[in-house]
Amino acid sequence: MMNGEETDGGISLGDMEKALVCLLMTSMEAPVQAESAGLTQEMFADASLGFVYEVIMKIYATGVRPDMVLVERGMREADEELAAKLGGLSFLLPYMLNVRHDGNVAAYVEGIKKQYKLRCLVTLFGRWRSRLARYRPSRRNWSTRRSAF
pLDDT tens for each residue of 9-29: 688 999 999 999 999 999 989
Alpha helix stretches (DSSP H) within the chain: 13-26, 30-36, 47-61, 68-78, 80-86, 93-98, 105-135, 139-147
Q: Give, to the nearest 10 degrees, the angle between helix 13-26 and helix 105-135.
A: 140
Question: Which pLDDT score is estimated for 3?
Answer: 47
Question: Which pLDDT score is estimated for 112?
Answer: 96
Averaged pLDDT, 86-100? 89
Using pLDDT thresholds of 50, 70 and 90, give the confidence band for residue 134.
confident
pTM for the complete prediction?
0.79
**Is the pLDDT confidence value at 4 over 50?**
no
Task: Tell me the residue type at 56.
Answer: I
Least confident segment among 53-57, 110-114, 134-138: 134-138
